[in-house]
Chains A and B, each alone.
Chain A
């Protein structure tokens, strides 16, 4: 029988949302339409229209050693062309943001190839070849993994995920890379490291409380989804904890 991943335990809405994000058979819901050029501007790694700088010659030119693994694994487009490795980093508010650092890493590992995610408590970075990165970033911004107000694209100075929101509902950002404009649309005025960009990059309207409550992947009493309500999740975590405590990294019962 073929192995079917279960993705995660839990009977709650949050657990279901987590599984939906991780399961690559379920297409991510497209919500907004940020263009390629906009993504390049927010990332700030190259100017729009500029050729991709390279780290090494294209694979076809440099000649590959005779290696069985290289025969099995097809290179991604970026690796084929010899692109540099670049990154995008997200900070997700604990107040019902649609994705969370660990969740992002799981989701990306299931859905994309040739990536190197790094997970921290308040931010999640994903590194890969530049042209792959732009495609992945576009996916991550345009779909239900992103909310303009409660998710920030922040390369440095990420502080804010665990703080109260501002009066207008935006997550705190000491560099204020994105602002809620008068027309109600969130616009990026700086790239992810905080350098001002030439034009305002619109990333859409903040999602409403109802949508955020329905689509969140964080258990949070203040968000209306207390962890203790999901008995199956707690049972699973307690079992893992107990096995780890009793048997270290050799979980035999």
Chain B
């Protein structure tokens, strides 16, 4: 579960990122030290057509691909629109801002500090998920999801 003492930031670019840009940006950001958790957010790009007469057929999209971040392969399931991060402390924020400025040159972005991930379970969470054993994923993803979080070894 998120400790309230850990600072969180949110990066919102003015445009949705292509996997190429997302890959470069994430590599830049994650080369900094002091990042505890990170969520890549955006509208979902499903593998099969979810509705309509073509429901169930493969959704072949040129832009969706696996990205390589810090040596780990991440299968993007969204078009990257927002990046949420929890940090050890506030020291890497200026470096992260610089990394964003270096990569996101064609359009503006905002970098906000605040609370963006859930810090405790709500009543609805208990109703939906029951007791969640690994509380680190609270506020990040659906705890019942079969895909597990990717653990990056970091550089400390």
Contact = CB atoms under 8 A, between A and B. Distances in A.
Given A166-B16, A176-B63, A193 B81 contact: no
Contacts of B57: 194-195
B18 interface: yes
Contact of A156 (B13, B14, B44, B54): B54
Looking at chain A's contact residues, the main secondary structure is loop
A193 B62 contact: no
B49 interface: yes
Contacts of B107: 167
Contacts of A195: 54, 57
B52 A193 contact: yes
A175 B55 CA distance: 11
A164 B53 contact: no
B43 A160 contact: yes
A85 to B, nearest CB: 15
Nearest to B81: A164
Contacts of B60: 196
Interface in B21-53: 21, 43-46, 49-53
B73 interface: no
Contact of B18 (A160, A166, A175): A166
B79 to A, nearest CB: 6
B54 to A, nearest CB: 5
Given A167-B15, A172-B43, A194 B106 contact: no
Given A159-B43, A172-B79, A175-B49, 15 more contacts: A156-B52, A156-B54, A160-B43, A164-B13, A164-B16, A164-B81, A167-B15, A167-B18, A167-B21, A176-B62, A193-B52, A193-B53, A193-B54, A194-B54, A194-B57
Interface of B: 13-18, 21, 43-46, 49-55, 57, 59-63, 79, 81, 106-107
Interface of A: 155-157, 159-160, 163-168, 172, 174-176, 179, 193-196
